[in-house]
């Protein structure tokens, strides 16, 4: 991951170790997500070919593609956050004084963590409910719903961890600069 050089040089060893471990995990997950996206494309291509060339019905392909894309979306979110690749309002950062921009960015991280924390908590509740109730989809294939819910849960939990690490990193780097 490309982290700001000023922040990287000032990290305490424990924070550095945690961020490095998350970076490795994020890279592994993003490669899996890339494969899942390719897999979803192949599954949907197969579905179209079977339906139109062989006139056979397909009932599992759409759900399989959705499961793969849900996993790719949620499990790649921490990687994107680590690179600060999510959509932001760049215009505000360019016109605000540097100190106010840092406060705005920090407040944005805190709000994002609160939102993602709530979303993650709801994902955990959905996952546990799906496991306890044995919920499945409404299709003839009827795969268990714990599969996509677990992908959402892991992705959102890792995203919360990444945002929390960025907040801690910001606070630690500011203390070092002030000292």
Mean pLDDT over 144-155 rounds to: 98
- Using an 8 Å Cβ cutoff, are 123 and 156 in contact? yes
Residue 67: the pLDDT is 98
Q: Which residue has the higher pLDDT, 178 or 143?
A: 143
The token pair at 129 is: 């409910």
Least confident range from 59-73, 97-111, 117-131: namely 97-111
Residue 1: the pLDDT is 53
Domain contains 6: no
Provide the pLDDT confidence category of residue 118 given band limits of 50, 70 and 90: very high
CA distance 134 to 49: 33
Domain count, the chain: 1
SS (H, E, C) the chain: CCCCHHHHCCCCHHHHHHHHHHHHHHHHHHHHHHHHHHHHHHHHHHHHHHHHHCCCCCCCHHHHHHHHHHHHHHHHHHHHHHCCCCCCCHHHHHHCCHHHHHHHHHHHHHHHHHHHHHHHHHHHHHHHHHHHHCCECCCCCCCECHHHHHHHHHHHHHHHHHHHHHHHHHHHHHHHHHC
Domain contains 148: yes
Domain contains 1: no
The alpha carbons of the chain give a radius of gyration, in whole angstroms, of 20
Q: What angle do CA 52, 56, 61 make, to 5 degrees?
A: 85
Residue 179: the pLDDT is 56
Domain contains 122: yes
Answer whether residue 7 shows pLDDT above 60.
no
Q: Residue 69 belongs to what domain range? A: 11-178
CA distance 149 to 155: 10
Domain contains 110: yes
Domain contains 3: no
Domain contains 119: yes
Domain contains 139: yes
pLDDT one-digit tens code per residue, 28-50: 999 999 999 999 999 999 999 99
Residue 8: the pLDDT is 46
Residue 178: the pLDDT is 57
Answer whether residue 131 shows pLDDT above 90.
yes
Q: What percent of the chain has pLDDT over 90?
A: 73
- Using an 8 Å Cβ cutoff, are 78 and 162 in contact? yes
pTM of the model: 0.87
Answer whether residue 73 shows pLDDT above 90.
yes
């Amino acid at each position: 991951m490309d982290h700001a050089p000023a922040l990287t040089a000032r990290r305490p060893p424990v924070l550095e170790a945690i961020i490095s471990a998350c970076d490795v995990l994020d890279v592994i997950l993003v490669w899996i997500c890339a494969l899942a996206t390719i897999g979803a494309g192949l599954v949907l291509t197969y579905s179209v070919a079977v339906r139109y060339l062989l006139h056979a019905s397909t009932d599992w392909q759409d759900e399989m593609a959705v499961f793969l894309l849900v996993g790719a979306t949620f499990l790649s979110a921490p990687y994107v956050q680590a690179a600060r690749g999510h959509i932001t309002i760049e215009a505000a950062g360019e016109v605000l004084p540097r100190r106010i921009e840092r406060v705005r960015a920090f407040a944005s991280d805190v709000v994002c963590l609160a939102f993602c924390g709530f979303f993650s908590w709801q994902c955990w509740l959905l996952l546990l409910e799906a496991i306890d109730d044995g919920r499945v989809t409404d299709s003839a294939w009827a795969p268990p719903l714990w599969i996509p819910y677990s992908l959402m849960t892991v992705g959102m939990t890792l995203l919360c961890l990444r945002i929390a690490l960025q907040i801690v990193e910001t606070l630690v780097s500011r203390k070092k600069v002030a000292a």
